[in-house]
A and B are shown apart, each in its own frame.
Chain A
Amino acid sequence: MASQLALKSRIASTGSLEKIFNAQEMIAASHIAQAREVALNAKPYTDAIFDAVQTLVSHSHIAHPIVRKEGDNPRVAVLALTADRGMAGAYTSSIIRETEDLLNRLEGAGKEPELFVYGRRGVSYYKYRNRPMAQTWEGDTEKPGVEVADAISRALLEAYMKSAEKGGVSELYIVYTEFINMVVQKVRVLRMLPVEIIKPEETATSGPDTQSTQNVMPLYSFEPSLDEVLDAVLPRYVRSRIHECLLEAAASEVACRQNAMHTATENARDLINDLTRKLNASRQASITQELTEIIGSADALNKKEE
């Protein structure tokens, strides 16, 4: 009898868990649409900045420190993008694994990595293990706004622009999760700084076809000067790249969470089915036992009367 009560309460608690998982899954599904919209809204800005950088590259031999850094400073910065909340499957743990890998690799190469972490889960992981972190940010990993991207890129650019004696860093790596599609997300390591600008392919055209003349970049004038335009554009380029990474990581996080919650809901349903079957079996067993007892005692009484 007690086991029937126990089974019933387990079914009830699994049922309420299932509801929670299901709700989380639906929340994640609605966040996906939001994340997509935010990414779509930010795209024209990123494209415009990319075009401007292309123009600058085609016009000049850029010697800005963002593109090239002098000297061999062993200190490098590593930024890990993790989640604020759990319930997202292996999202944060795979980022942490990749980060550890990268840190070991960098240390093996004689560098001194400094750790920057975004996301509460990552921060508490490293805090618990007493690993020093240069700077951390928390909050809004599901929908990172421009402000977060601004804060992060400002801190990182500041660290990057400082000279080696003052504790500056010479490179910046970002560990984030690339959103490939709803089912597949991949952890990637990106070297953000110094910026690698890909020069547009030199058009090695044969003969004067109209296509190539249209593609020739017009001769620009820069106001107030090329250097000042570079100063204005390049930090924004870095920031928009970081923002792009944040948005992609957010989309991956939400997709991971949706998948994890979907699996959890299915597991809960399976468990409920299993438990219900056990409950039915045990109820049937107790009914059979009662019947046997009643029939047995009735038989005994009948025999006595005869």
Chain B
Amino acid sequence: MAGTTMDVNIVSAEHPIWSGTAKAVLVPAYAGGLGILPGHEPVLSVIQEGPLVVTEPDGRKHSFEVTDGFISFDSNKLTVVVEQGRSMQNIPIDETGIQ
């Protein structure tokens, strides 16, 4: 089995946003939220603007706001590719965030 965690890598066009391990990720897929757990079947999916939640193995949650893009999952590695995105905890009002 693939284990209980997976690698997550979130990148935007300008800079990487977050990377680490997680036990669950909720992405805003084209038709509502799509939950991805470790060992998910390989998938390439279009996502839309919305919130993205990463749950770390110790239960901590990270929320991100992302614009449209796509995700790809294989070999227990999730890559989220978006135009722009930002972490919800520290909302920066600068050029890196969403207008």
Q: Is A44 an interface residue (CB 8 A)?
A: yes
The contact string, 1 if C-beta is below 8 Å from chain A, for chain B 21-45, is 0000000011100100000011111
Closest CB in chain A relative to B85 CB, distance in Å:
11
What sequence of 0s and 1s flags, for each residue 50-68 of chain B, a beta carbon within 8 Å of any chain A beta carbon?
0000000000000000001
Give the nearest-CB partner of B30 in chain A.
Answer: A224
Instruction: Give the residue among B30, B34, B70 with the most A Cβ atoms within 10 A.
Output: B70
Q: In the bound complex, do residue B44 and residue A49 qualify as a contact, i.e. CB atoms below 8 Å apart?
A: no
Q: Indicate which residue in B13, B41, B69 contacts A42 across the interface (CB closer than 8 Å).
A: B13
With A44-B16, A48-B81, A223-B45 as given contacts, are A232 and B70 in contact (CB-CB < 8 Å)? yes
Q: How far is the CB of B99 from chain A (nearest CB, A)?
A: 11
**B45 touching A49, Cβ below 8 Å:** no
How far is the CB of B76 from the nearest CB of chain A, in Å? 10
Given A48-B72, A146-B14, do A220 and B30 touch, yes or no (CB 8 Å)? no
Q: How large is the interface on A (under 10, 10 to 19, 20 to 34, 35 or more residues)?
A: 20 to 34
Assembly CA distance A52 to B47 (angstroms) = 14
Q: Does A221 contact B (CB under 8 A)?
A: yes
Please tell me if the beta carbons of A236 and B81 are within 8 angstroms of each other in the complex.
yes
Could you say which residues of chain B place their CB within 8 Å of the CB of A218?
42, 74-75
Whether B5 sits at the interface, judged by CB under 8 Å, is no
A222 touches B12 (CB 8 A): no
Q: B residues within 8 A CB of A44? A: 9, 11, 16
A45 to B9, CA, bound (A): 10
Nearest-neighbour CB distance to chain A for B13, whole angstroms, equals 4
Tell me, yes or no, whether B79 is within 8 Å of chain A by CB: yes
Q: Which residue of A lies closest to B77 (CB)?
A: A51
CB distance B31 to A224 under 8 Å?
Answer: yes
Most buried by A among B13, B31, B69: B13
Count of residues in B whose CB is under 8 Å from the partner chain: 26
Return the CB mask of A232-263 against B: 1 if under 8 Å, else 0. 11001001100100000000000000000000
- Residue-wise, chain A 41-81 has the 8 Å CB interface mask toward B (1 for contact) of 11011001101100110000000000000000000000000
Q: Which residues of chain A are within 8 angstroms of B15 by Cβ–Cβ distance?
A: 41-42
Q: Complex formed: what's the CA distance from A41 to B17 in Å?
A: 10
- Alpha-carbon distance A240/B14, docked complex (angstroms): 10
Cα–Cα, bound, A60→B46 (Å): 17
Q: How far is the CA of A220 from the CA of B45 in the complex (A)?
A: 10
Q: A243, B13: Cβ atoms under 8 Å?
A: yes
Asked if A224 and B11 sit within 8 Å, CB to CB, the answer is: no
Closest CB-CB distance, B64 to chain A, in whole Å? 15
A218 to B81, CA, bound (A): 19
**Which 3 residue pairs spanning A and B have beta carbons closest together?**
A223-B45, A41-B15, A218-B42
Q: What are 13 A-B interface contacts by the 8 Å CB criterion?
A: A42-B13, A42-B15, A45-B12, A48-B9, A48-B79, A48-B81, A52-B70, A218-B74, A220-B43, A221-B44, A223-B29, A223-B45, A236-B81
Given contacts A48-B79, A49-B81, A233-B44, 4 further A-B contacts (CB under 8 A): A55-B72, A222-B43, A232-B46, A232-B70
Using a CB–CB distance below 8 Å, which chain B residues touch chain A? 9, 11-16, 29-31, 34, 41-46, 68-70, 72, 74-75, 79, 81, 83
